[in-house]
């Protein structure tokens, strides 16, 4: 997957997480995300957390962590959905071709929701990544819960 597309998906998921857990940060989400995607390690650096961002914000905020956690989750979701799409592609193509025969639009199948096991996997990935970027266990669990909620509920 193109890195710009992956970043955009990660940003969308992280925005939903921030909206659920720290809605006041949404006002500065875009500039923080831009800085994060330019240099993730610098934004998450412990020394950097003590500094202010160019627009005067303390980096002890949720947004960079949500972005860091969303990336591996999006990577896993893309792989999972790609596998499912390959398995279902023959049936979809057949349906679309039949739609062409009828000269009407072929209805696309809805995206299936995550199974409980898939949701647990997403949660584990999110907690592991949140801990890896330095969030304490309680905050890591909150971010993971918000990610699963954003994916399952939208």
Whether the per-residue pLDDT at 86 is higher than 70: the answer is: yes
pLDDT given at position 85 = 77
Distance (Å, rounded) from C-alpha 28 to C-alpha 63?
Answer: 9
Q: Average of pLDDT values for 79-85?
A: 84
Beta-carbon contacts of 147 under 8 Å, excluding residues fewer than 6 positions away, are 13, 17, 69, 70, 73, 122, 123, 126
Higher pLDDT, 102 or 92: 92
Give the model confidence (pLDDT) of 7-33 as tens digits: 999 999 999 999 999 999 999 999 999
Whether the per-residue pLDDT at 153 is higher than 80: the answer is: no
């Amino acid at each position: 997957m193109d890195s710009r597309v992956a970043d955009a998906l990660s940003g969308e998921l992280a925005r939903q997480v921030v909206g659920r857990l720290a809605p006041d940060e949404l006002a500065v989400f875009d500039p923080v995300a831009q800085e994060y995607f330019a240099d993730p390690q610098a934004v998450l650096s412990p020394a950097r957390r003590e500094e202010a961002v160019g627009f005067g914000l303390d980096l002890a905020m949720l947004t960079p962590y949500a972005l860091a956690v969303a990336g591996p989750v999006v990577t896993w979701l893309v792989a999972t959905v790609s596998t499912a799409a390959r398995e279902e592609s023959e049936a979809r193509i057949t349906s679309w071709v039949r739609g062409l025969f009828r000269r009407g639009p072929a209805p696309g199948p809805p995206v299936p929701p995550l199974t409980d096991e898939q949701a647990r996997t997403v949660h584990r990935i999110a907690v592991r990544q949140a801990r890896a970027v330095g969030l304490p266990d309680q905050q890591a669990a909150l971010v993971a819960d918000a990610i699963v909620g954003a994916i399952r509920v939208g």
